[in-house]
């Protein structure tokens, strides 16, 4: 994102808030309390922001300010951008690298209470994973404080609501109110919600010591997504499905709690509401599909409910609203000259159709590096990608599925299109650990061998799936690459950042479901993703409204 612009808005908002509890509390004859609510609509395409899809947004925008030349931080991942939104800085300053992190010295349990194997790259959209990595960084997940931490230090009440991981990282020391898909924090707030008749996110019990909190017998799972509807291959989502946004149920619950309890009861001075949509639905079905548009409309409905509540509380003239995204979204697809689009019929991939859907795009970087003689591992088991691993023009599969009936290759009986690349213990000299993140991948060279880095670069440069390659500044100039410092991603501290960041190739002019922008990606069976250096993935919007 344009960091200077976003920082200006946040600083201005905090100045308006007064940087202190005393300024936010009504005093006889004193200033009126001011509030700021920041909405982040995860993965929303800027071209889906239309009056038809988002009437409440446009009602605000007409009397607000729209910044038309806004963009995401690269790599365009959620947790990378959530750290930048939280701190107002680039990765080269805050020192955090998501979504999939390699922190082999970390320890801990995830939100479900299961021990995490940090010897392999770990997906960090989870409060337990965040805290495990935080503790391995001596308590400093980010090297600069977050906006909510600064506000709390000045006595302001803060709230972080919404998507697991992205909302939690805003307040990763648990200094304010947190209500995300996994947990209600702190414990006193969780019990308040229970006493008010609200269910709690099912993993809330794991945010505290054993026995500190007991869920009601009828609590259920209020943030559970609806199931993805898949093709007959049982792996790939059916883009023709019309069941709607995957997270609608969960975010109805979160919005209910925010509008009906948090706002009127806790009266937060500064809130970040991070919606999971349309990112989650785009991942499954792809941008431009019916379900994707439904997810976009869901955000506008939430905005409308919040604005109505602000008016009901009489806060309309004292509340600033900022709306942005963390990244845009591309369709996962390879080169259509090799992998032409195909229709979908009767739950199966059909014949060639220029207006059809992708049947390619998945890339396993560890596999390609291994083919070139390198010792590469991504920490994952066998993958079964029956459609998006590539169906060629003549209908043959680039990576035909195999049946490991006795678990010889995969460790368990399953179908697979690529074998496992588990990180060995200990990690051998000359190894490359790949944190497969989607539209870009992180490559770590644990022993820091420059020859291994150069060999990895040569391998990446030889394949059409890969585009721009960024190498840590400590290795100097390597032909055909750019230094990470040029895009403000070089790690400011040892043991945090990757040695190489590689963007997958993309084509911004090819459209699927009416939405331009395709990209290769390392994500598993996803029709939509992000993370590349493309204009599609980096282009987002920013709007500010208020007194």
Task: State residue 68's pLDDT score.
Answer: 85
Task: State residue 32's pLDDT score.
Answer: 74
In this structure, are 316 and 356 located in the same domain?
A: no
C-alpha span between 303 and 57 (Å, rounded): 7
The number of folded domains in the chain is 2
In this structure, are 309 and 364 located in the same domain?
A: no
Give tens-digit pLDDT for 21-42: 444 455 555 567 899 999 999 9
In this structure, are 306 and 350 located in the same domain?
A: no
Say whether pLDDT at 541 is over 80.
yes
In this structure, are 262 and 356 located in the same domain?
A: no
Task: State residue 422's pLDDT score.
Answer: 98
Task: State residue 22's pLDDT score.
Answer: 46
Task: State residue 150's pLDDT score.
Answer: 98
Helix, strand, coil percentages in the chain from 3-state DSSP, rounded to 5: 30, 20, 50
In this structure, are 386 and 426 located in the same domain?
A: yes
C-alpha span between 184 and 189 (Å, rounded): 7
Q: Please, which residues have CB within 8 angstroms of residue 521's CB and are 6 or more apart in sequence?
A: 330, 332, 361, 362, 363, 438, 439, 504, 529, 531, 532
Helix 248-257 and helix 290-312, axial crossing angle in degrees, nearest 10? 10
- Residue in this structure with the two tokens 């409905």, named with its chain if needed: 301
Say whether pLDDT at 6 is over 70.
no
C-alpha span between 35 and 446 (Å, rounded): 46
Task: State residue 13's pLDDT score.
Answer: 56
Say whether pLDDT at 414 is over 90.
yes
Task: State residue 453's pLDDT score.
Answer: 99
- Mean pLDDT across the stretch 297-306? 99
Q: Alpha helices of 100-186 — where are they, by DSSP H? A: 127-136, 147-153
- Mean pLDDT across the stretch 230-254? 98
Residue 55 domain-assigned? yes
pLDDT band at 204 (very low <50, low <70, confident <90, very high): very high
Residue 201 domain-assigned? no
Q: Please, which residues have CB within 8 angstroms of residue 69's CB and are 6 or more apart in sequence?
A: 2
In this structure, are 449 and 302 located in the same domain?
A: no
Task: State residue 21's pLDDT score.
Answer: 46
- Residue in this structure with the two tokens 């009056």, named with its chain if needed: 51
In this structure, are 275 and 382 located in the same domain?
A: no
Please give the share of the chain, as a percent, with pLDDT higher than 70: 94
Looking only at the bridges linking them, the beta strands covering 348-352 and 466-471 are: unpaired
Residue 173 domain-assigned? yes
In this structure, are 228 and 371 located in the same domain?
A: no
Task: State residue 385's pLDDT score.
Answer: 98
- Cα-to-chain-centroid distance, residue 59: 28
Mean residue pLDDT of the chain comes to 95
Task: State residue 11's pLDDT score.
Answer: 52
- Mean pLDDT across the stretch 344-350? 97
Residue 130 domain-assigned? no
Give tens-digit pLDDT for 125-152: 999 999 999 999 999 999 999 999 999 9
Which domain range does residue 479 map to? 331-529
Say whether pLDDT at 20 is over 90.
no
Q: Which of 19, 33, 46 is nearest to 543 (CA)?
A: 46
Say whether pLDDT at 229 is over 80.
yes
Residue 126 domain-assigned? no
Residue 214 domain-assigned? no
Say whether pLDDT at 225 is over 50.
yes
Say whether pLDDT at 179 is over 50.
yes
In this structure, are 266 and 372 located in the same domain?
A: no
Residue 136 domain-assigned? no
Q: Is 5 left (phi over 0), alpha (psi -120 to 50) or beta?
A: alpha
In this structure, are 319 and 366 located in the same domain?
A: no
Residue 228 domain-assigned? yes
In this structure, are 378 and 446 located in the same domain?
A: yes
pLDDT band at 12 (very low <50, low <70, confident <90, very high): low
Say whether pLDDT at 459 is over 60.
yes
Task: State residue 30's pLDDT score.
Answer: 57
In this structure, are 386 and 513 located in the same domain?
A: yes
Residue 32 maps to which CATH number?
3.40.720.10
pLDDT band at 10 (very low <50, low <70, confident <90, very high): low
């Amino acid at each position: 994102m344009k960091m200077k612009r976003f920082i200006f808005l946040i600083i201005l908002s905090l100045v308006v808030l007064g940087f202190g509890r005393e300024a936010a509390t009504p005093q006889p004859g004193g200033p009126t309390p001011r509030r700021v609510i920041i909405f982040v609509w995860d993965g929303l395409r800027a071209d889906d922001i239309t009056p038809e899809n988002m009437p409440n947004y446009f009602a605000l925008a007409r009397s607000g300010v729209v910044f038309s030349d806004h963009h995401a931080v690269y790599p365009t991942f959620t947790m990378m951008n959530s750290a930048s939104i939280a701190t107002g800085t680039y990765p080269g300053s805050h020192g955090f690298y998501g979504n999939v992190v390699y922190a082999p010295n970390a320890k801990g349990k995830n939100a479900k209470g299961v021990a995490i194997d940090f010897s392999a790259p770990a997906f960090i959209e989870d409060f337990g994973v965040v805290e495990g990595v935080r503790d391995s960084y001596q308590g400093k997940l980010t090297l600069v404080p977050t906006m909510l931490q600064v506000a709390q230090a000045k006595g302001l009440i803060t709230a972080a609501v919404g998507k697991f991981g992205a909302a939690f990282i805003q307040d990763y020391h648990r200094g304010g109110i947190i209500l995300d898909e996994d947990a209600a924090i702190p414990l006193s707030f969780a019990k308040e919600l229970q006493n008010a008749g609200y269910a709690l996110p099912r993993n809330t019990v794991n945010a505290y010591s054993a026995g500190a909190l007991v869920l009601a017998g009828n609590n259920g799972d209020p943030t559970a997504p609806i199931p993805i509807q898949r093709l007959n291959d049982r792996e790939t989502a059916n883009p023709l499905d019309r069941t709607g946004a995957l997270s609608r149920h969960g975010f109805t619950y979160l919005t209910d709690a925010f509008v009906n309890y948090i706002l009127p009861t806790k009266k937060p001075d500064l809130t970040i509401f991070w919606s999971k949509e349309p990112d989650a639905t785009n991942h499954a079905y792809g941008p431009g599909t019916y379900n994707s548009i439904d997810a976009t409309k869901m955000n506008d409905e939430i905005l409308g409910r919040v604005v109505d509540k602000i008016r009901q509380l009489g806060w309309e003239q004292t509340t600033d609203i900022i709306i942005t995204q963390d990244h845009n979204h591309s369709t996962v697809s390879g080169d259509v000259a090799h992998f032409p689009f195909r229709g979908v019929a009767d739950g199966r991939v059909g014949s060639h159709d220029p207006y059809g859907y992708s049947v390619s795009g998945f890339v396993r970087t560890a596999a390609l590096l291994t083919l070139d003689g390198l010792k590469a591992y991504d920490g994952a088991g066998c993958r079964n990608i029956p459609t998006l691993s590539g169906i060629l023009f003549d209908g043959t599969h680039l990576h035909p599925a195999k049946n490991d009936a006795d678990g010889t290759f995969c460790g368990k009986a399953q179908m697979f299109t690529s074998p496992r690349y588990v990180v060995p213990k200990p990690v051998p000299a000359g190894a490359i650990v790949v944190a497969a993140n989607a539209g870009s991948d992180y490559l770590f060279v644990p022993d820091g061998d420059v020859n291994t880095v150069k060999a990895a670069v040569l391998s990446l440069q030889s394949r059409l799936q890969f585009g721009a390659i960024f190498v840590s500044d400590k290795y100097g100039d390597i032909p055909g690459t750019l230094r990470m410092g040029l895009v403000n991603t070089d790690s400011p501290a040892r043991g945090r950042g990757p040695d190489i960041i590689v963007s997958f190739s993309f084509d911004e002019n090819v459209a699927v479901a009416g939405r331009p922008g395709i990209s290769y990606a390392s994500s598993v069976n996803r029709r939509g993703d992000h993370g590349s250096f493309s204009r599609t993935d980096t282009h987002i919007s920013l709007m500010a409204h208020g007194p």
